[in-house]
Structure 1
Amino acid sequence: MARDDTVGPATGGSLRERMDEAHIQPGGWLLASDVEGPLFLGDFIAEALSACLKPSGGVVEAVPSYGQILYGEGYAAFSADTDALRRPEGARCGRTSPEGGYTLAQEGTDTIFALPLLLAAGADYSYLERLALRSPETPGAAEMARRLDEMGWQRVGITTAPQQPYRLVAERCGWLAAGRLLGSPFPLMEAEALLRRLGRWDVEIDGVRAYLRDAYALIDRHSEVWLDGSTWRRHFSEAGRKLLRQRFRRFYREELGISYSHGERAGRSASTALGRVIEACGMVGDRAKAALALGLARRGGGLDRLVTMGDGANDALMLRRACWSIGVNGPAAARAAAIGLVTDDMRHVLVLLQLIEQGGNDVEDVIGRAQAELRGAALVHRGGDGVSAKIAEKHQLMKRRLRGEFVTY
């Protein structure tokens, strides 16, 4: 089958098309922020996998769940396999534009690997939308947004998560324009329609279910489960993790026929329809996030009026490429950003943004003035590779407190 059979609007437009949708106006400051963490809490794809993926029959519901383990170990295998494929990060302040396109080798784009698993589990768009609409606002995010509007700032949310459910969340909350929430495609029902049209539904979904049965058996065989008060806990052994990562690789790389390399994919098609759908999706990973933030800044007030904000590893490149950046409640983000912030209230971000707007041209000066104004209400510190293990732990603890223990990124 030709590649064009799986490529369509549902697999995501170009970065330029996404930027056009945001309707950024010339002039002024721009805040480009990750969505899950700084703006909304939770991870609805992880929540869907945790709820939907489990063996049939009598199952002990334990923490971490089967779905959480599958998500976490799949991410670990993907990260190990793609580390050598990722391009150098380049210079801070956007002096070097992100190179090339955006591919499955980007940090964070393994989100699309949940698609065949959720299809096999019977999940649909309405289910994902219900989960997304349940996502609470991060404390203080709505007030931060309103104050930024008063200050004349433009705001855009950039996420690896599926775009459409979060656009519904934006419409519901009212303080972030839906067109300014830029995310990844997740063509769940389009993939099902394609498989059925090609007569491939039964054979390919049976293959997914076989992978899940193997994965559940590995988790059961290499786990200990015990009752901790009122909660069942599961310990998954290192030997089991190694075997599950090997099974992940065999399923995605060999059975679905997926490649992470753009150059390799250009000369051939994946061996399955599901593989072709996954490869065709223009996922918003770390390089795409950086490209979107810089491109939108050029359409607005320029790179010197861009502030980026994020809490995860897939935000790191976007944070490094901006002159002003805030890593909030995440150790990887803090080490990538100019400024680190540990807080349970996004209104504290306003203090930093106001100081930057008022003419702060020295990071240390902005940090010092913010520390004096916040008076211990939040931890503000210098970002970069020199972030200590103690401060990194404070970031991780706050992230777990706000977003839950098993957030992948």
Structure 2
Amino acid sequence: MFIQKHNISTPTTPHLQGHSIDLNTTILSIRKTIYFVLITLLATSCNSPAYISGKLEGAKKEGVKMYLLQPENLRDVAASFFGKVIDSTVVNPDGTFEFQNVPNTKEAVLLEIAIALPGKNPNYLQTDNQTKANFMPIVWQSGNPLKISSKVDTFQKSFSMEQPSEVNKALVALKDINQKAYQSYLAGKHWELEDGSQLMEKEHAILQYQTELINFADSTPYLMPALVATRWVSTANDYERVPEFLVRQCDTWKKKQPNHPWVKQLCKLSEPSNLPVLVGDVFPDFKLPMITKDTLSLKAQLGDKLTIIDLWASWCAPCRVENREILGPIWDTYHDKGLQIVAYGLESNEPAWKAAAERDGADHWPQASHLQGDDTPFLKRIRVKTIPANFILDDNGVVLAKNVHGEALVNWVKNYMKN
């Protein structure tokens, strides 16, 4: 007899069966995910990568130490003794090193890696000789390990980074510009400054070096590289010769990142009260005591077409040369064509002042002085501390140019007077 077997389990409807398959698939997927996460965590704990690591060539002595610094303010960038030490490491015999105590932040922060110099503090930075600079700024962001390489004696100059972010690429490019400009204009140069005869040559070389960094800062789309360039322009925070640059940087970054604390500090530096009269400003009127004993309004002395406000002193060697070789010929050529020169002397000795003006032929144009040396109300009003200096004004007293000297001044006046 044939006996038919029947399935005694409760049959599953097609609708319920579909849900059973989906649930099993989901459970399996969750198990796989948990397994993958556990394996990843285990691998990470066994072989944790250094956050900032690299290799330093030429570390002949054992125990070469490196520091990781965090500037807390804009003024701390590229400044000795201000950066906060947040980590240190000793270079291994094979030259490798690593930092792991880095800021845990999603926001990008500027750090500086520095090699310890004998007898110096951990946060000492070599800024006088760029070829020997012992530090390099980098931008750190959590979750993005950095690997670098360099040489112990030329740390900044030879610094490189594997697969840098765009902002770190910009910092490396800035480093290269800085090193090249230093080699071109300042490295190995010695100027005779005891008698002031080569002061202008030195100032011109410094300005050429600064201009390379200024051009970078004006063109980069990244805040931190721009601010590093700004600090490298003058680690002493002296922007008297390039104040318009500070104003441009403030105007740029307060539009892009107005709430960044360093942008606010930058804009504080660029306030008018902290800077000399700028190109484009109307030069302030001032009642000046003249060498003739008169007191005259500066505005009343303006030329019909052009006026040079010249700041000088009888004891300033390059000023005296400028009187004889530059201003004298300019006066003779263009005074009858609408050019005026008004000179202001940083003098305390009236006889010496008058004798120098007469000897140089500078008594041909108006001479003024409060005879208070460099502690004078006029210089305080226009916020100038360094001479030789000059301001070139149009017939309305608007500043067209500043601190143009030598043949450059002759050519500037010549070209302007043609118009």
TM-score after normalising by structure 2: 0.22
TM-score after normalising by structure 1: 0.22
Larger RCO (alpha carbons 8 Å, 6+ apart): 1
- Structure with greater strand percent: 2
Larger radius of gyration: 2
